[in-house]
Structure 1
Amino acid sequence: MSKFIDRVVLHVRAGKGGHGCSSVHREKFKPLGGPDGGNGGNGGDVVLEVDPNVHTLLDFHFHPHAKAGNGKPGEGGNRSGKQGDGLVLKVPDGTVVLDADGEMLADLVGVGSRFVAAQGGRGGLGNAALVSRARKAPGFALLGEDGQERDLVLELKSVADVGLVGFPSAGKSSLVSVLSAAKPKIADYPFTTLVPNLGVVASGETTFTIADVPGLIPGASEGRGLGLDFLRHLERCAVLAHVVDCATLEPGRDPVSDVDALEAELAAYQPALKDAGLGDLADRPRVVVLNKADVPDADELADLVTPEFEARGWPVFKISAVTREGLRPLTFALADLVRKYREEHPKAEPARQVLRPVVKGDSGFKVLPDPEEPGGFIVIGERPERWVRQTQFDNEEAIGYLADRLARLGIEEELAKLGAEPGASVTIGDYCFDWEPQIAAGVETTLTSRGIDPRLSQNDRIGAAERKHASRVRRGLVEDE
C-alpha cells in the first residue's frame, strides 16, 4: 500500500573540494622545470528540482540522507582534479524548503524550479596557480574546502485553486469524485480520507484544480485530529469551499455551528507562506456547499440556513453528490471565482539571479574581543575563515602565505589598533593562533627552500616550554642548565 508523505527532514551534504597539488616539473636536463601542480576539483552541489512526475515526498522518508560527490585532487603536469558529481533530487510541485529553525529558504512552484540545498566545497589551488614574484616555486598548495552540510525540512503544500474544507464525512471526497475524474476512497465512517486528493475540473474555457483536504475538527490548528498535518495544503488555494453535511444526526451540530467552528480554526492557523500573495486563510473568498440535499430533512434544513450564510456575503449552493443535483451552478461559480483570481494575480515572472557587488571600502572581516579569553580576539569574516581552512599547517611556507594574506587584508593593523599584545590569542574559524607582530607579514621575502619560511624561525619570544622550565628552576624543582 502506497503512503502519502508531505513532510520530511532531509540531511544534505555537498561534496568536498579536492586538494591542490604541489609538484615540480622534472625532465632530462631540466632538474627544476618549475611548479606544475594542478588545482583540485570542486565538490558537487545538492540541488532540489521540481519534477511533474513526483507527487509525494515518500522517497525522502525512506532515504533521508543525500550526499553529492567529492572533487578529485589535482595532479602534476598541470592536471586539474575532476569535478565532484552533483546530486539532483526530484521534488513535487509545491514543495517548501525550511531550515532547522523553521525559516523558509525556498518555495518551489512550477516545473523546473531549482534550489541549491547544499553548496559544494571549492577545490584548492595547486602550486602552479600560486606562483608570484616572491614565490617562483611554491612548495605548498591549498587544501580543498568541505561542502556545505545542513538539515532541511521539506513540506508539500498542494497546488490547488479550490480547497474543500469540512467536518469528517461531510461528502468532500464524493464531491471531488463527481466534479472530476479523481477516484478517492469513499466510505460511511469518519476520517476515510487520510491524504489530500486532487482533481481537475473543466468548466467552459476555465480549467482548475480542486483539493479534498482530510476532515477538520475543532482544535485542528492546535494539533487535534488530522487538521494540523493537512491545513498546510490550503495555503495555496485561492478559494475555500465549506462542504456542510445537512443530514448529520449528531447532537449539537448544525450547518451554521459547523461553519463557525471551521472558520475559527482557519483564523487561528498561521500560514508559513507569508509572501505567497494570498494573505491569511481568513481573507480567502468563501463558498458554502450544503451537501446531501437528496435527504428530505436535509433539504429543508438547507433552505432554512441559506439566508444566514447569504447575509455574510457568501455564495450558497444546495447540492447532492449522489443525485448530482446543483453541481452545474456550483462548477460555474467556482470557475468564475478562480478566473477572477487569476486576472487579479497574474503569474509571476521567473526570479532573476541578483548579483550584489561588495561595497567599496568593506574590509570583509570584523575583529571582536574574545569573551572567553582575556586579552584575546576573534576574527569573523568569510575570506579569513576560508583562507584558514585552505592552509596546510604542517608546511611553514603555507603558514607564511596565510600570514601574508591576512596582513594584506588588514587584520594585523586592526589587531594593533585594538591594543593586542604580543602572544595574544587570535581565533579565526576553528583555529587559534598566538599573535606575533614582530614577524614581517605582507612584505616580499626571499625564500630559501621549498616548504620553509625563514620568517617563522625569527621569533625571539620565549616559548611555553621555556617559561615552564624557568618556573621550575625558580621553585627549585630542577637545576638550571
Structure 2
Amino acid sequence: MTTFVDRVELHVAAGNGGHGCASVHREKFKPLGGPDGGNGGRGGDVILVVDQAITTLLDYHHSPHRKATNGQPGAGDNRSGKDGQDLVLTVPDGTVILDKQGNVLADLVGQGTTFIAGQGGRGGLGNAALSSARRKAPGFALLGEPGEARDIVLELKTVADVALVGYPSAGKSSLISVLSAAKPKIADYPFTTLVPNLGVVTAGSTVYTIADVPGLIPGASQGRGLGLEFLRHVERCSVLVHVLDTATLESDRDPVSDLDTIEEELRQYGGLEDRPRIVVLNKVDIPDGQDLADMIRPDLEERGYQVFEVSAVARLGLKELSFALAGVIAEARAAKPAEEATRIVIRPKAVDDAGFTVTYDEAEDVYRVRGEKPERWVRQTDFSNDEAVGYLADRLNRLGVEDRLMKAGARAGDGVAIGSEENAVVFDWEPSMMAGAEMLGRRGEDHRLEAPRPAAQRRRDRDAERDDAQREFDEFDPF
C-alpha cells in the first residue's frame, strides 16, 4: 500500500459568488417602498497552507478533486447572502506548486506559508446597491461570478540540511538510523528504501535535519531506477554526503567509481554544483572494508574531499561525522543573506490605459474585446433581463468600448466578442447604443415613485443625474 506520495495533480475549484437579489419593498399603504434586494455572498477560496506535521501528499493522491463552498444569494429586505467558506488544504513543508505547463506558481517553505490556489467569485450586487438618483428602481440585479477553477501540480522537495546519497545498499538507512531517531526499513537487498527518510540530529548547540535519499544508479538523471522521482529531494540541502560501501560484494564496483557515477548523475541533474561534499566510507568494521578504506582514502583527500570512516553497525566514527556536519551547516546558515523586509511594489497604470483592448480576429471574423472590467461585467449580466442588458450597454459605452470599436474599423452589423475564445459573449454591433438607450428613457426609473416636480427641482435632479453618471463611471464600481 502506498504511504508516501511526493507528486500529485490537484483539481481545485473555488466557490461561486451568490447572485444579487432584485426586490421591491412592500408594506401596507406603501406598495412601492423602493428597491431592497441584498447582495450575493462571496465564494470561498481554495488556500494551500504549509503544515510541518504533514510529510506526504497522500491525501490528495486519493482525492484529487477539491472544491470550496459557494456564496449564498441575496434576499429582499436588504439581506446579503452568506459568504462561502474557504477551503484550507495543508501541504508539507517544501511543496512546489506548478501549472499544467510546468511553470512554478509558488514555492511553499516555512510553517504557515500560504498560497491561494483558487480565488472565490465575487457576489453580485442587489438592486438596492444599484439604485441611485438617476436609477431609482432597478428591476434587475447582478449575477455572482464563477469561482476560479484550474489544475495544478504539487511536488514535494524535502527540506533538509544534509542529503545522504549513494548506491543502493550502501548503508544510508543504517547511518541515518544511528545518527537520529529515524527508523527506516533496512535489509540486505537493493532498493530497500523506496521513500526519503528524514531524521533530526543534535550535535552540540546545532540541530539539523538529515535525509536519506533512495538509492541512485547510473542513468538516474534520465529516470532509471528511482531516478527523477527522488533527485528533487536533494535540491534544498546544504551539504551532500556520499555514502560509499567499502565492503560491496559486487566485483564490478568499487567506492571511487561509485562516487564518480553519482557525481555524474548529480551534474546532469544540475543545480547542485555549489553544495559542499563530504565522503563517508561505510562498513569499516569488516576487515576487507577497512583495508579498502585505507587504500582509497588518500586518493579522495587529494580530490579535496573531507573523508570519514564509519560503521553504522559498530557505531564507529559517528560522533566525529555528526560534529563535522554541524560545522558545515552552521557556516552555510551564517552565509545566507538576512531576509529583507517585504516590499510593496506599486505599478500605477498609464494615464492613457483604458483598461481594455479591441483587436480584430480574422479567423473568427469578429472584433474581440479583452479586459478585466468588460469581461467581469459580462459574467455578471443576466441576459434574460432586457434592463440588465441595457445596463451592460451603458457601462460599456461609458468605458469607451464603442469609441474604440469605431477607431478599429467596426461597422454596424459586425460581430463583437467580449472575452476569450473559449468563453466569449458574441453579438452584432449596432453603433450609438447610448443614443438608443436615451430614446428608451432612463433605465431603472419607476415614475410611480415620483410626484410632479417644480422646474427648480427638475434642474437639480438633472445635475444630480449627471454627477451620478460620472461618479458611477469613476468610483461607484466597487470591484
Match of 1:320 in 2: 311
Letter in 1 for 2:418: I
Q: How many residues align?
A: 442
CA-CA distance at 1:328 after TM superposition: 1.6
Tell me: CA distance 1:21–1:441, structure 2 relative to 1, closer, same or farther (3 Å).
farther
2: CA distance between counterparts of 1:201 and 1:416?
71
Q: Which residue of structure 2 lines up, in the alignment, with residue 340 of structure 1?
A: 331
Change (3 A) 1:442 1:46: farther
Contact 1:397 1:451 in 2 (8 A): no
1:373 and 2:364 matched:
yes
Distance 2:432 2:399 in 1: 18
Give 3-state SS (helix, strand or coil) of 2:373's partner.
helix
The within-5 A match list for 1:413-428 is 413-428=403-418
CA distance in 1 between counterparts of 2:79 and 2:439 reads: 29
Aligned counterpart, 2:468: none
Q: Which residue of the partner structure matches residue 110 of structure 2?
A: 110
**1:244-293 deviation per Cα after TM superposition (whole angstroms, max 9, x unaligned):** 011112122111111111111111114xxxxxxxxx11221100111111
Q: How does 1:41-440 map to 2 (within 5 A)?
A: 41-270=41-270, 280-346=271-337, 348=339, 356-374=347-365, 376-429=366-419, 430-440=424-434
> Quick one: distance in 1 between partners of 2:48 and 2:345?
20
Report the CA distance between 1:445 and its aligned residue: 6.7
Once the two structures are TM-superposed, the CA of residue 349 in structure 1 deviates from its matched residue by 5.5
Q: Which moved more, 1:177-186 or 1:1-10?
A: 1-10
State how far apart, in whole Å, the 2-side matches of 1:37 and 1:254 are.
80
Deviation at 1:351, TM superposition (A): 5.0
Instruction: Spell out structure 1 runs of 4+ moving beyond 4 A.
Output: 349-357, 441-446, 448-452
Aligned position for 2:35: 35
Distance of 1:186 and 1:350 partners within structure 2? 45
Residue 462 of structure 2 aligns with which residue?
none
* TM-score, normalised relative to structure 1: 0.88
Deviations 1:144-181 (CA, angstroms, capped at 9, x unpaired): 01000001111111110000000000000000011111
Q: TM-score, normalised by structure 2?
A: 0.89
1:404 offset after TM fit, Å?
1.3
Q: For 2:146 and 2:444, locate their aligned partners in 1 and report how far apart those are by CA, in whole Å.
A: 27
Q: Following TM superposition, by how much is the alpha carbon of 1:90 offset from its aligned partner in structure 2, in angstroms?
A: 1.1
- Structure 1: stretches of 5+ with no match in the other structure: 271-279, 453-481
How big is the alpha-carbon RMSD for the aligned residues of Structure 1 and Structure 2? 1.9
Q: 1:58 & 1:419 partners in 2: Cα distance? A: 56
Distance in 1 separating the partners of 2:23 and 2:61: 46
Shift of 1:120: 0.2
Shift of 1:207: 0.6
Contact 1:407 1:441 in 2 (8 A): no
Distance 1:355 1:74, change over 3 A: farther
Answer whether contact 1:70 1:84 (CA < 8 A) is retained.
yes
Greater shift, 340-349 or 94-103, is seen at 340-349
Deviates more, 1:119-128 or 1:308-317: 308-317
State the alpha-carbon separation in 2 of the partners of residues 95 and 86 from structure 1. 20
Describe the superposition over 1:68-88 as per-residue Cα deviations: whole angstroms up to 9, x where unpaired.
000000001111000011110
* Identity fraction in percent: 66
Equivalent pair of 2:390/2:437 in contact (CA under 8 Å): no
Alignment deviations for residues 422-448 of structure 1 (CA, whole Å, 9 cap, x no partner): 111010021001111032269867647
Letter in 1 for 2:382: Q
In structure 2, runs of 5+ residues without a counterpart are: 447-479
Structure 1 counterpart of 2:164, which letter? Answer: L
Q: 1:97 to 1:449 in 2, by over 3 A?
A: closer
User: Helix, strand or coil for the counterpart of 2:202?
Assistant: strand
Deviation at residue 228 of structure 1 after TM alignment: 1.1
Which stretch of structure 1 is more off in the superposition, 104-113 or 308-317? Answer: 308-317
